[in-house]
Amino acid sequence: MPSALVFFNELSDVPSKAQRELLTLASRFDQSTLAVASEVSQDAQNVVANYGLSKLLVAPSQGDIFVDHALSVLEAAVKQSASDVVLVANDNFNREVAARMAVRLDGAVITDAIDVATDLVVTKDELAGSYSAQAQSTGGTLFVSVKPNSIDDDPQSSGQQLEVQNLAIQSATAAQVRVVATEAKAVSDRPKLTEARVVVAGGRGVNGDFGPVEDLADALAGAVGASRAATDAGWITHDAQIGQTGVTVSPQLFISAGISGAIQQKAGMQTSKCIVAINKDVDAPVFEIADFGIVGDLSKVLPQAAEEIRRRQA
């Protein structure tokens, strides 16, 4: 059976849902290794051990280096582990690192995967999820970036022995790209947009007030998203943007409020399991893909729904 390598650029004490999904995927393979390009705490190691991985390769960076350190670590880890498949998260940074490494090591790269079978056939989304395709490598190491929410997080065992090894990487030549400033983003208590079970998104129709959207999201323990019209207007940060040029989400429940459903917007949410739309225009294209639609004013419908959820939960 092929062997797998999971690569994380960073790993906090509590691995993210997307990271746990990758570990679950790796545990399907006989031999699986994790390589991390930053420090790994004992807490994080304990979590990783539960996924039955046999080895952890660690190589923290000296200082804030953009892409060069990740590339050196991944290159060394692939060579040392001689893995057949490398699994990374589907965010821009990780897929770029994987794709560069595929070029460097004459391997293959497949993005937007939703599954990787043990015979290394990859199932992936095409055309914003309107197609599902299967692809494989024609030779060389296969690098795959896997979309979040595609694999059920399923730790296998507990108390498994994890061999931790410091990875020797070649002293990096002067980095081509310098990090000249770093700004931390405001942290939210809500679940991460790409990982949330429920997403409530608002568009131009919220008319500057995300209050009702946030309130319903909180009643459902969900994340808050937005259309580009809403982020461009500055009502909410750009990170909340869902769509072709924002994030792609695929939650169990997507509630769209005051969003018309333009093609670029739908590209980021049309693979959601259940879609609910609230829009005051009966002809809004979003109704064509909604499982449940309400023609009405979101400033009335959302608060009423939030209150009703709280009443039933009380």
Using an 8 Å Cβ cutoff, are 114 and 22 in contact?
no
Structure-token pair, residue 121? 């056939």
Tell me the CA distances in angstroms from 170 to 60, 77, 142, one per residue in order.
13, 12, 23
What is the CA 104 to chain-centroid distance, rounded? 25
Instruction: Give the other-Cβ count within 10 Å of 85's Cβ.
Output: 25
Q: Judged by CB under 8 A, does residue 78 bind another protein?
A: no
- The piece of 29-37, 39-47, 156-164, 276-284 that touches another protein (CB under 8 A) is 276-284
Residue with smaller CB distance to ligand FAD, 14 or 263: 263
CA distance 235 to 208: 6
Q: Does 239 bind ligand FAD (CB under 6 A)?
A: no
203 counts as binding another protein under rule CB under 8 A: no
> Is 243 annotated in some ligand binding site?
yes
Name the pairing type of β-strands 32-36 and 108-116. unpaired
Query: Alpha-carbon distance 266 to 243, whole Å?
Result: 6
Q: Least CB distance from residue 190 to another protein, whole Å?
A: 13
118 is in an annotated binding site: no
d(CA 108, CA 138): 8
With respect to another protein, which residue has the nearer C-beta, 67 or 76? 67
**Site string (81-100) toward another protein, x via CB under 8 A:** ----------xxx-xxxxxx
Q: Binding to another protein by residue 159, rule CB under 8 A?
A: no
DSSP 8-state assignment for residue 238: G
Report whether 244 belongs to an annotated binding site.
yes
d(C-alpha 199, C-alpha 197), whole Å: 7
Binding mask 181-220 for ligand FAD (x = CB under 6 A): ----------------------xxx---------------
3-state secondary structure of 89: strand
Part in contact with another protein (CB under 8 A); list of ranges 47-55, 80-88, 163-171, 287-295: 287-295
Q: Which of 155, 239, 280, 309 binds ligand FAD (CB under 6 A)?
A: 280
| Choices 39-47, 54-62, 126-134, 151-159 (CB under 8 A): range interacting with another protein | 126-134
Secondary element (H or E) of residue 198: strand 198-202
User: Of 181, 251, 167, 179, whose CA–CA distance to 217 is shortest?
Assistant: 251
- Applying CB under 8 A, among 41, 118, 134, 156 the residue interacting with another protein is 134
Write down the least CB distance from residue 130 to ligand FAD, Å.
16
Residues engaged in binding ligand FAD (CB under 6 A) = 203-205, 227-230, 241-246, 258-260, 262, 264-265, 268, 278-281, 284, 297-299
